[in-house]
A and B are shown apart, each in its own frame.
Chain A
Amino acid sequence: MEITTANRDSATIISLAGRVDTATAPALEQAINKEIELGHRNVLLNFSGVSYISSGGLRVLLATAKKLKSPGDKFGICSLSAEVHKVLKLAGFTSIFSIYPSEGEALAGWE
């Protein structure tokens, strides 16, 4: 899995490409934690390159939601493939954090 991090409009965008599974989820968690430790508390995960998420990946998303729940924090996911959207929706995760159709729409909503 490839992880690219960029800061734009006061948000940290972590873009992923590949599978978020038991082997790659720790790297994602590490990348997110690094940003949070740097004080970046508006985190958007761009899932446009992700075709699969395992339960290990779901756990990282929940752990992040727990860390970013102070007033003023923002955590969201954008550009989900249908497969990943289905898993998040049916697992009940769509009520925990915001899901956006695209990066632009997410950032517009966060302004």
Chain B
Amino acid sequence: MPAGNDQLDPLVWQPVPGAPGAQIYPLIRKIDTISSNSYLIQTPDAIILIDPGGLPGQAEQLVRVITDCRKEKDRPVFVILTHAHIDHFLGIQDIPAFAYIDTAVLMVQDAGASALENGDGGLTQGDLLNVAINPMKVGLHLLTPGRKETPHLPVDLCLANGGRLTITATPADSSSPLPDRESVMFGPGTTIECYHTPGHSPDSICIRIGGLLLIGDMLFAANPGIAGMVGWSQEALVRSLSGIETLLSKGEITIICPGHGRLISAPDAERMLAAVRTDTLALANIAELNRDRAVQAAAFAEDCMEEVNELFTILAGRLYYVSYVLDELGESETAAELGALIHGDAIDELLETFRLFAEEHHQAGGVSIHLALKAGQVIAKLKRTFKKEELSRIVDPTLVLRAERLLSGYTTMLRGFSPPKEITVTDLPALIEMLVAGLSIPSCSDDDVLSSADDDAAFARILLSRIGTRPLLEDVGVALHGVPAPVSVAIDRDQFTDLLTYILEDLVGTGSDQIGIAMEITDSSAVVTVSGNASSSCDQGNQKSMRFLSGLCERAGGLLSRDRDETGLQTYTIQVSRVI
């Protein structure tokens, strides 16, 4: 093997392990959502292109290689799709060498073949990615119910490109998890096995040739922003994963060729597929990822990133502040150690990457799902670097907790789950009083500091926390008006607490030194107003921020509005339902 045990050299012909006479030419791309990898196979009797990809340039590159092959020896050309998502085939739509049935025969699993013939924008993901699908003629439907009815019976076919092949169907049986499959023999020599592995899409297949297994997008099928696409099925995916795991356990396959990204050794693939199965099992009842949900996800992505940006800048700033104060106190070593807790430059770069992507996206009228996925990537990276426990010991734990909830909330939504919402009956005045008290007093009292004086480690810990957790309301006068005895309301406590904290932060951050919190009660609702004499109001991102807070209020079980009067008094009004 030219490039090591689990790799093939890109863009050169090389023997297919375990398939005498067959050669492979892999075109491996960096992972993206625009175009798949492509794999060209030549045998003495046929040229087979698996997944031509989503870009015309890629298809043209492949045509040149095919043309050279045909000059050496003219043979019929077949194009097989691991599934009919546009990133796997769109590139050939307007390429004459592929567009005419007598030049190359397209072979797709039955459900995908029908989708292509009907120009179905749902199953092909054309609708999601805002791409019109021209109906395409599919020369041969693979894994049809008809052939399944006559198992083990070789069927000889003569196709429009002059190619001859023999197909034999082997349906799944109860004695093994192996899926339905068909052997396709091109001429007297090479045979490929096509396994029906629905889940990522109903038409997904895995293709085996010798010791290679081409698995399409199976490795990514449980990823956020992919799971739930039109045609996705949790139950089918789990079954298909079992089938392929069984196939790999036989040890005859050595290299796995995914639809995106580099090749993988069989043992690595087994581990990765087991992880996909675990992720898939956790994905019960996710919403379908269609165009409407993609638009919704993109809007939520931008709102979330606005808040993530602010929260992470504040978190980094707090650490710098603590570090500065420690430095002043002559604790330079400890001050330097704090820098490792949050990588400000890396975070800035990630946030900047998203901002530029979003800017370009809006200018070019991009596709919503790409923006949502980009935010998902950035948030996943932030999550990996987020040292929650260590940060909570130094800076305000509620700030850290909120940052964590923000990151998790976005991932949850992108995965297709409804945003978490745990409505419980809560005494609203008690909750507000507790929150205000918590935001007014330092997390460590003077007594805590004094009692730790004899223990160096405890003293250092308490000192750090004391510096890093400056109470939000320490210099602010807060007046609670008309907050009566217990008022039971139906809210999600955590989300309501986050909402009120965001509001108080906004008022304090924009200069309010006096904040009033009032409550009015009607038969059916409780209305909380939070007002501050902010010297200014946030204009940039104001709309996004308000949309984010409204969404948070909705998840908390209430309705939110905001008003600023001519005197500059800024008022947030939250209405929640009473429980009598």
Which residue numbers of A lie inside 8 Å of B, CB to CB? 21-23, 51-56, 58-59, 62, 65-66, 81-83, 85-93, 95-96, 101
Cβ of A82 and Cβ of B539 under 8 Å apart?
yes
| A90-B472, A91-B321 known; A82-B313 Cβ under 8 A | no
| A22-B345, A59-B344, A91-B313 known; A66-B324 Cβ under 8 A | yes
How many chain B residues touch the partner (CB < 8 A)? 35
Closest-CB distance, A22 to chain B (whole angstroms): 4
27 A-B residue pairings within 8 Å (CB atoms): A22-B348, A22-B352, A54-B344, A55-B316, A56-B348, A58-B313, A58-B317, A58-B320, A59-B320, A59-B344, A62-B321, A62-B324, A82-B510, A82-B536, A83-B539, A85-B510, A85-B511, A86-B538, A87-B317, A88-B317, A89-B508, A90-B318, A90-B472, A90-B505, A92-B321, A96-B321, A96-B324
| A82-B510, A87-B310 known; A92-B536 Cβ under 8 A | no
Give Cα A52–Cα B506 distance, bound, in whole angstroms: 15
Chain B residues, CB < 8 A from A82: 509-511, 534, 536-539
Main secondary structure of the interface of A (DSSP, over half): helix
Cβ of B327 and Cβ of A66 under 8 Å apart?
yes
Whether B540 sits at the interface, judged by CB under 8 Å, is yes
Cβ of A65 and Cβ of B324 under 8 Å apart?
yes
Interface string of B485-498 (1 = CB under 8 A from A): 00000000000000
Chain B residues, CB < 8 A from A91: 313-314, 316-318, 320-321
Chain A residues, CB < 8 A from B195: none
Closest-CB distance, A26 to chain B (whole angstroms): 11
Chain A residues, CB < 8 A from B509: 82, 85-87, 89-90
Whether B312 sits at the interface, judged by CB under 8 Å, is yes
Cβ of A23 and Cβ of B320 under 8 Å apart?
no
Cβ of B310 and Cβ of A86 under 8 Å apart?
yes
Give Cα A90–Cα B505 distance, bound, in whole angstroms: 8
Give Cα A82–Cα B509 distance, bound, in whole angstroms: 8
Contacts A22-B345, A83-B539, A87-B317 aside, 6 further interface pairs with beta carbons under 8 A come to A54-B344, A58-B313, A82-B509, A82-B536, A87-B509, A90-B318
Chain A residues, CB < 8 A from B541: 83
Closest-CB distance, B213 to chain A (whole angstroms): 43
Give Cα A102–Cα B236 distance, bound, in whole angstroms: 65
Give Cα A90–Cα B344 distance, bound, in whole angstroms: 16
Whether B389 sits at the interface, judged by CB under 8 Å, is no
| A56-B348, A86-B505, A90-B505 known; A81-B310 Cβ under 8 A | no
Give Cα A87–Cα B318 distance, bound, in whole angstroms: 10
Give Cα A85–Cα B505 distance, bound, in whole angstroms: 11
| A82-B510, A82-B536 known; A55-B344 Cβ under 8 A | yes
Cβ of B344 and Cβ of A56 under 8 Å apart?
yes
Interface residue from A56, A85, A93, A101 paired with B345 (Cβ < 8 Å) = A56
Whether B454 sits at the interface, judged by CB under 8 Å, is no
Chain B residues, CB < 8 A from A88: 317
Cβ of A87 and Cβ of B313 under 8 Å apart?
yes
Give Cα A51–Cα B264 distance, bound, in whole angstroms: 47
Give Cα A83–Cα B352 distance, bound, in whole angstroms: 17
Between B320, B327, B344, B540, the greatest number of chain A beta carbons within 10 A of the residue's beta carbon is seen for B320
Whether B470 sits at the interface, judged by CB under 8 Å, is yes
Cβ of A53 and Cβ of B313 under 8 Å apart?
yes
Chain A residues, CB < 8 A from B318: 90-92
Give Cα A16–Cα B508 distance, bound, in whole angstroms: 25
Cβ of B470 and Cβ of A92 under 8 Å apart?
yes
Question: Smallest CB-CB separation from B324: which chain A residue?
Answer: A62
Give Cα A59–Cα B345 distance, bound, in whole angstroms: 10
Cβ of B540 and Cβ of A81 under 8 Å apart?
yes
Whether B553 sits at the interface, judged by CB under 8 Å, is no
Whether B16 sits at the interface, judged by CB under 8 Å, is no
Closest-CB distance, A5 to chain B (whole angstroms): 25
Cβ of B470 and Cβ of A86 under 8 Å apart?
no
Give Cα A55–Cα B338 distance, bound, in whole angstroms: 14
Cβ of A83 and Cβ of B324 under 8 Å apart?
no
Interchain residue pairs A-B with the least CB separation, the first 8 = A91-B317, A86-B509, A55-B316, A55-B344, A22-B348, A82-B536, A92-B321, A82-B538
Chain B residues, CB < 8 A from A66: 324, 327
| A82-B538, A90-B472, A96-B324 known; A54-B510 Cβ under 8 A | no
Give Cα A89–Cα B470 distance, bound, in whole angstroms: 10
Chain B residues, CB < 8 A from A59: 320, 344
Cβ of B320 and Cβ of A21 under 8 Å apart?
no
Chain A residues, CB < 8 A from B574: none
Chain A residues, CB < 8 A from B316: 55, 58, 91
Give Cα A101–Cα B510 distance, bound, in whole angstroms: 12
Give Cα A90–Cα B348 distance, bound, in whole angstroms: 18
Whether B563 sits at the interface, judged by CB under 8 Å, is no
Interface residue from A22, A65, A86, A93 paired with B506 (Cβ < 8 Å) = A86
Contacting A at CB under 8 A, from B319-359, are 320-321, 324, 327, 342, 344-345, 347-349, 351-352
Cβ of B317 and Cβ of A55 under 8 Å apart?
yes
Cβ of B536 and Cβ of A85 under 8 Å apart?
yes
Question: Smallest CB-CB separation from B310: which chain A residue?
Answer: A87
Chain A residues, CB < 8 A from B317: 55, 58, 87-88, 90-93
Contacting A at CB under 8 A, from B387-424, are none
Chain B residues, CB < 8 A from A83: 310, 538-541
Cβ of B314 and Cβ of A87 under 8 Å apart?
yes
Chain A residues, CB < 8 A from B534: 82
| A86-B505, A91-B321, A92-B470 known; A55-B347 Cβ under 8 A | yes
